[in-house]
């Protein structure tokens, strides 16, 4: 490192995010699925751990003009980064925060009759764009009764505080091969839509997996989340093009030692050496989001698959090596040879929970046009927060 050049991270454990792959995925999605619909990019949970701001900027390059997030904080993060496209906040908003929503020209999701009535009684500011949510079978939030939904829809159309811009629901089983429940939800949604004046509104229910199915009547928007980063919600789901995963996870060996037979390693001593073994230490652990449940995982080092041994610690994990590599040798934990799906299966979860778990202790290194364009290390941001 040259003198005077700022150091942006101080550990050799990091995520690489390939924005070229994000661009590839989204341009192909637009070409194949958005000819007669508008595509909303869902980048909640920091774009599923990939970094919402850098991903959003790439999505805009690719032609995306609508975003969805879970919380007001996530929306404000995008606004502060000069992301000026329409942003829909799916989660609940405190009525006292409606002035913040209006100030930043955000769109909110209304899913409660009680909340709407309190907001109409309390909020006196300029009009806010809203989407009204119908619960067709997910069971989390939304209006469950069709008659009530229609009444609220008409009430919003007549009020001054809110302007209706969309109607939505959410699918619970779109990635499953048995589409019985999926069809039930679609039928409920279509029954409601037939009774509404939808002129000029965005109507959406399909998520990534749902976008591969025939678009229901009246629906003119799809929400894409997992596909953006090259993640499939289920292994049997195929697309007419190759999704390219955008996330890789790397570290380096910090110690190599020869261990005789009969030695227990790591917490609780769940692994015991059976012979003379070469053990390497990697500086990554569950504080980074590398899951403690991983008991039979593997990494890839210079052409060799190496088994993880012992319990994953907060800051370290151990691997059994085929030879005495040098300290500092690069380790692939997730990437071309150890896929995200393999890692997620080993910890008994889905691939997108796995990426959401990766903490802000891991620097994110972003590549575009095969060059590093940004390094994001939130642990070194200023008190106010550096906008990257």
Active site residues: 44, 267
Q: How many residues in the chain? A: 388
Q: How far apart are CA 192 and CA 254, in angstroms?
A: 60
* CA angle (25 as vertex; 181, 211 as ends), nearest 5: 20
Q: Give the closest residue to 41 by CA, choosing from 61, 66, 74.
A: 66
Q: How far apart are CA 226 and CA 358, in angstroms?
A: 16
Pairing of strands 304-309, 298-301: antiparallel
CB 331 within 8 A of CB 14: no
Number of other residues whose CB lies within 10 A of the CB of residue 178: 8
CA gyration radius for the chain?
24
Phi, psi of 330 (to 5 degrees): -70, 145
Pairing of strands 202-204, 162-168: parallel
Residues 6+ apart with CB under 8 A from 40: 64, 66, 67, 68, 88, 202, 204, 221, 222, 223, 224
Beta bridge partners of 272: 264
Mind spelling out the 3-state secondary structure of 25-89?
HHHHHHHHHCCCCEEEEECHHHHHHCCHHHHHHHHHHHCCCEEEECCHHHHHHHHHCCCCCCEEE
Task: Let me know if 68 is exposed, middle or buried by CB neighbors in 10 A (0-12, 13-18, 19+).
Answer: buried
Q: Which two tokens stand for residue 354?
A: 């796995």
**String of b and e for 287-317 (b: at least 16 CB within 10 Å)?**
ebbbbeebeebbbbbeeeebebbbbbbeebb
CB 141 within 8 A of CB 135: yes
């Amino acid at each position: 490192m040259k003198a005077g050049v700022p150091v942006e991270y101080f550990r050799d454990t990091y995520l690489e995010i390939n924005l070229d792959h994000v661009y590839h995925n989204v341009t192909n999605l637009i070409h194949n699925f958005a000819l007669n619909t508008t595509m909303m990019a869902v980048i909640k949970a920091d774009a599923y751990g990939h970094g919402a701001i850098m991903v959003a900027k790439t999505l805009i390059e690719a032609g995306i003009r609508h975003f969805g997030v879970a919380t007001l904080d996530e929306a404000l993060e995008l606004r502060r980064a000069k992301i000026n496209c329409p942003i829909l906040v799916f989660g609940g908003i405190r009525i006292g925060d409606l002035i913040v929503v209006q100030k930043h020209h955000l769109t909110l999701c209304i899913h409660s009759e009680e909340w709407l009535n309190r907001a109409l009684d309390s909020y006196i500011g300029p009009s806010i764009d809203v989407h009204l949510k119908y619960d067709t079978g997910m069971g989390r939030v939304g209006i469950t009764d069709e008659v009530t939904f229609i009444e609220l829809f008409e009430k919003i159309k007549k009020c001054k505080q809110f302007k209706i811009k969309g109607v939505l629901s959410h699918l619970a089983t779109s990635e499953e091969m048995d589409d019985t429940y999926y069809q039930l939800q679609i039928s409920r949604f279509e029954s409601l839509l037939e009774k509404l004046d939808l002129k000029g509104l965005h109507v959406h229910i399909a998520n990534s997996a749902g976008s591969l199915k025939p678009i229901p009547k009246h629906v003119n928007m799809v929400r894409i989340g997992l596909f953006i980063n090259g993640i499939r919600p289920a292994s049997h789901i195929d697309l007419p093009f190759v999704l390219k995963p955008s996330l890789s996870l790397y570290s380096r060996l910090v110690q190599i030692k020869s261990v005789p037979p009969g030695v227990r390693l790591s917490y609780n001593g769940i692994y015991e050496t059976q012979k003379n073994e070469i053990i390497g230490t990697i500086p990554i652990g569950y504080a980074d989001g590398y899951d403690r449940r991983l008991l039979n995982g593997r990494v890839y080092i210079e052409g060799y698959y190496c088994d993880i041994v012992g319990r994953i610690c907060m800051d370290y994990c151990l691997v059994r090596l085929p030879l005495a590599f040098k300290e500092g040798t690069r380790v692939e934990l997730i990437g071309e040879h150890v896929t995200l799906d393999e890692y997620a299966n080993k910890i008994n979860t889905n691939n997108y929970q796995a990426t959401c778990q990766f903490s802000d202790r891991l620097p994110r290194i972003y590549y575009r046009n095969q060059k590093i364009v940004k390094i994001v290390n939130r642990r070194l941001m200023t008190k106010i927060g550096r906008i990257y």
